Structures are given as structure tokens and as C-alpha cells.
Amino acid sequence: MSKGLKLKYLKITLIFFLNAFIFGVETAGAKGIMLLTPDYDSILYARMPTTHLVVEVQAKETLESLLLRSRAGEVEPFVTRMNNDAYYVHYRVSLVPGKNEFVLSPGGQHIVIDYKPLRTLFDADLDAPDVYLYHRQGIMHKQCRSCHEFNVVPKGNYTKSSPYGSRSPICYSCHKGIFEEVKWQHSPAANLLCEMCHREGKDGAISVFIGKNAVLCYQCHLIKGKPWGDMAHIHAPVGYGVCSICHNPHGDKYRFQLWADARGELCVSCHEDMAVLLEKNTKGIKVHGIVKGGGCVTCHDPHASDNAYMLYKPINQLCTGCHNDFAEVTQGHPVVGHPVSGPSNPLYPGEEFSCASCHDPHGSKFEHLLIGDLLSGHFCIKCHDKRAP
């Protein structure tokens, strides 16, 4: 054998034994440690940017050296319980959109959670490979049953059946956050009527409704009067039937189980062009007072309306509801003989002439929220000079 082949053989042998040694150390270190939830490499859809990692540890010596690290540093256990000669360590971890990496030691076990923020199940593929659902195989893992009690309920609640179905105290054992950490709770969740929306299959798995959840919502939330679908202008989420884009079906920190403030923060999550109006320092822009006061829902119906732009009333009626001095004015503003309403807007012939033809109802860089500068006639010429673009 040549000298070169000997060196190559020796190199391969060293690499083999080095890998075997490292693998052996990791295997020995990981012995007696098992991640119960979620999977080691999984995709997680969730509304809240947190999840629980639950680890089963067989020996006290291993428990004392147990360590979970993220890129931000060491993660402290949320709670540790002992049952049936095993320890169950719960970690509550924060997530960011995309890949979240953790290392569980001893053993150097790598955990990767691909977090996808969830607002609606309309386009979520929960059956895709690696998507983790705790209840996919049954109600509860057998190890979890050793500690979690089935009949503990919030103080003041009870487990008797109701006209709407049987209560589900078993859910409260794990999902306490829904009941204890949010101010505004959806009635079925607050009353443990989980099976009004979730169903238990023959194999014990719990169903998660996928698609247009309005099918579920309208079973209780009957629309009085004219149905939204029959109105002339429908908010896109309502038209698609995906109520959960705005409403959390369990509960959230804002009224009506909204995940953000309906006065503006919620709206600009989609209507991004309006976000600048909500900033503290809107230099160069004069913002309509109602935008930072009552907010978007003061003028716009968040579901549907027969009025353009989903307004509660026709534009001029809406404006004069606050600007009372103009309530009876039919012409003469801003100059004698000038109309304040009409069948056609010179700038947008398909729309009616109204207050909003001259004033931007949200905000403007010009005085009086005008759509142009009064100086040198630049504002008036928009309509009164056919040569103007």
C-alpha cells in the first residue's frame, strides 16, 4: 500500500471513530430524555407567538443537568412535575415568524419550530407534512394524562350540561391561558363549550375547522335585518367568510375578541397606506381628528354597508353629523353658489359630488384637509380647468 493510500485510510478511520464517539456521547446524554410536544422538527400554526415544549425526564440526575437553549439564551422551565417516577418539564417559549431553533441538553438534541402566525384557517394547510397538531392523534398524550386533571374548572364555573351542549373541563386543564390571560372572552370558550366548534372524532382526535369559518359563526351570530351578503358594499373578510382574520374565536385583549385596537391598529394591518396617519409625529400631514380619536369604525362599518366605502351613512350626512354648521347647507360653500353635493364628481365621474370631493376625510398635507393647495388656484383648477390633468 502506498504512503498516500495509508494516509487516506488513516484519515477515513479517524473520521469514522470521531463521529462514532460524538454520536455515542449524544446518544448516552439523550438517554432518558424525551420531547413529548411538539415534534423535533415541525411547522406550527398559532395565533399567539408562544408555545410549550414538554420534556419527559426519567432520572433526577439528568433533570438537574437539563438545559434548553435558544438563540436568545437559556430558557427557564415554566413548571416541573413528577408523576409515575418520571419528571415532566414544561418550557414556555417565545417564537418569531420563521425558523426557531432550540438545543436540549444533555445530548444536544436539536429542536426546530417553523412558526407561521395564524389569523385565519382559510388558506392554512394543516395536513401538510411536518405540521404539528397536538390533538391530531387523540385528546391527550398518555404521559400528560398522569398529571392533568379532567374535572378542574375555573372558579365560579361548573360542569353541568347547558342548552348549548356539554361542557369540556378537560380542555381547561391545558388551555387555561384562553380563560385567564385575555380580557375579552368568546362566550363558548368562557363557558367551556369547546365542542360547539371542535368535534371529537371516533379515534379521539379533535377537529379543527378549516376554511370559511363564517359557517360556524353564523350558527350563533344571526344577522338581524338585512344580511351582510345582500348589502352593496361588503368588507372583504366578510365576503370571504373568514371572521377570524379580525376576531379571535377564543378570546383576546380587545372588545369583540379583536386581536388589535379596532380604532385603527387592526385596520392598518391590511390597509397599510393609512398607517402613517396613526403615527405620533405625522409631520407634514394634517390628520382628521376622528382618525386618532374614535378611529376607523367611527365612520366605516367593519362588516358591510349599502353606502360607498362601507360608511354608516351617505358621505355628507356622515360629515354633518359632526360638522353641524353645514347640516342644512345645500350650496354656497366655500363660495357663493358653489354646490356641496351633486350626481357627478368632476374628478371621478362615476361617483357623486360630496364633501369628500374636496376634503380628504383621513388626512392631507393641505389646510382644511383639502385635496390640493388653495394658493394660485391649484386646488380649484382641478375641476374648473378642462386642461388640468
Percentage above 70 pLDDT, the chain: 87
199 φψ region: left (φ > 0), alpha (ψ -120 to 50), beta (else): beta
Q: What is the CATH number of domain 33-118?
A: 2.60.40.10
Of the two residues 25 and 227, the one the predictor is more confident about is 227
Residue 220 cell numbers, joined = 350563533
C-alpha 298/C-alpha 371 separation (Å) is 22
Least reliable range by pLDDT among 16-25, 107-116, 190-199: 16-25
Stated length of the chain: 389
Least reliable range by pLDDT among 78-87, 145-154, 167-176, 307-316: 145-154
C-alpha 237/C-alpha 260 separation (Å) is 16
Rounded to an integer, the average pLDDT of 86-107 is: 94
Least reliable range by pLDDT among 12-16, 51-55, 294-298: 12-16
Q: Is 49 strand, coil or helix?
A: coil
Tell me which residue of 238, 237, 257 sits closest to 249, measured CA to CA: 257
Rounded to an integer, the average pLDDT of 130-138 is: 87
Amino acid 105: pLDDT: 92
In this model, does residue 5 exceed pLDDT 60? Answer: no
C-alpha 322/C-alpha 253 separation (Å) is 30
What is the tens place of the pLDDT at every residue in 154-168? 666 666 667 777 777
Please answer whether residues 196 and 188 qualify as being in contact, where contact means their C-beta atoms are separated by less than 8 angstroms: yes
Of the two residues 62 and 376, the one the predictor is more confident about is 62
